Amino acid sequence: MQCSTAPDAGSRFARIGIITIAAVYFLIMVGGIVRASGAGMGCPDWPTCFGRLVPPTDESQLPANYHEIYAERGYADTRFNPVKTWTEYVNRLVGVSIGLLIIATLYRSLAFWKTDRTVTWLALTVFLAVGFQGWLGSAVVASNLRPVMITAHMLMAFAIVCLLIYAVTRSQRSRFATLDLSGLPPRFCTVLMVAMGMTLLQIAMGTQIRESVDVMAATAATDRSLWRENFPLIFYVHRSFSAVILGVNLWLAWKMVRSLPADSLYARFGMVLAGLVVAAIAAGVTLDRFGLPAIAQPLHLLLANLIFGTQFFLFVAGRYAGR
């Protein structure tokens, strides 16, 4: 007799998985805000913040010699800034909340142990990856915000999202088997994979630009509008490549909307993909033309991650269609 996962158990796993994915995306945005605002060292120690579980709200709550204490640890700017401190503290609280959600996701995945162990193994891998991400976060603080460490921390969050998307989509593959994608052109899947590779390349170039911005933020003038003059060549490649990405993704969206019924999941996600790409390019133009406003940086990063997440979901769901 073939075992099957109870529908309620599968739905509960999908529900907690989707909530966790949304929370990770929120953490990516919060992390981008921390980085853009320069609040990464708002808490100079980890896992405590200024030696406390709950950080201070006023400098008077700190030891009289706190400047010397943190200067000895390599903390460049020892001035207490409550806004930066609490921005980084909120970032950590969101991270802890995600850890709890990951535990719940792993627990719910046990319902698939007899029917599809890959789902459970994926959830376990995410659980271990989040633990590593926590250690990586402490390493970022210990390194005094080395750009390469920050980038590694961001890429790890990116990998966690992809694993979660795969786990949730696989858990619902019987539903995706009812998708009728016969109206799509034969080369659609190939173009989708190319688009995913292009997005990864664009994100990689973006991280290099971001590292250049971090260096300028630490050493250059405070007038952000002047930083653009010192950008590396890769910035111009990144900017021009966005036009190619726009064209490819609009083609994918057009084929999904025109070739499939309006109520098709694929058609709806086609419109989502087009909207995300346009919004990401608009955020990039804002960064380029308006002197790198700090608010546009985390938004641009979040949209780039959402684009790849949408593409990855379409790819995995498409693999299960008709099966």
Long-range contacts, 234-241 (Cβ 8 Å, 24+):
234/205, 234/208, 234/209, 235/209, 237/205, 238/202, 238/205, 238/206, 238/209, 239/284, 239/288, 241/198, 241/201, 241/202, 241/205
* Nearest C-alpha neighbor of 323 from the set 110, 164, 170: 170
Predicted structure pTM score: 0.83
pLDDT for 76 = 60
What sign does the dihedral 13-19-25-30 (CA atoms) show?
negative
Residue-wise pLDDT for 125-179, tens only, equals 999 998 888 788 777 766 666 667 777 777 888 889 999 999 999 999 888 888 8
Query: How sure is the predictor about 227, in pLDDT bands with cuts at 50, 70 and 90?
Result: low
CA atoms of 47 and 100, how far apart (whole Å): 16
CA atoms of 298 and 303, how far apart (whole Å): 9
Percent of the chain with pLDDT over 70: 86
What sign does the dihedral 289-293-298-299 (CA atoms) show?
negative
Cα-only R_g, the chain: 22
Query: How sure is the predictor about 69, in pLDDT bands with cuts at 50, 70 and 90?
Result: confident
Percent of the chain with pLDDT over 90: 37
Residue-wise pLDDT for 10-57, tens only, equals 889 999 999 999 999 998 888 878 877 777 777 777 778 888 888 888
pLDDT surpassing 80 at residue 184: yes
pLDDT surpassing 50 at residue 1: no
CB 272 within 8 A of CB 314: no
Question: What is the separation, in whole angstroms, between the first and last Cα of the chain?
Answer: 21
Q: Give the least confident one: 94-98, 209-213, 236-240.
A: 209-213
* SS3 assignment for the chain: CCCCCCHHHHHHHHHHHHHHHHHHHHHHHHHHHHHHHCCCCCCCCCCCECCECCCCCCHHHCCCCHHHHHHHCCCCCCCCCHHHHHHHHHHHHHHHHHHHHHHHHHHHHHHHCCCCHHHHHHHHHHHHHHHHHHHHHHHHHHCCCCHHHHHHHHHHHHHHHHHHHHHHHHHCHHHHCCCCCCCCCCCHHHHHHHHHHHHHHHHHHHHHHHHHHHHHHHHCCCCHHHHHHHCCHHHHHHHHHHHHHHHHHHHHHHHHHHHCCCCCHHHHHHHHHHHHHHHHHHHHHHHHHCCCCCCHHHHHHHHHHHHHHHHHHHHHHHHHCCC
pLDDT surpassing 80 at residue 199: yes
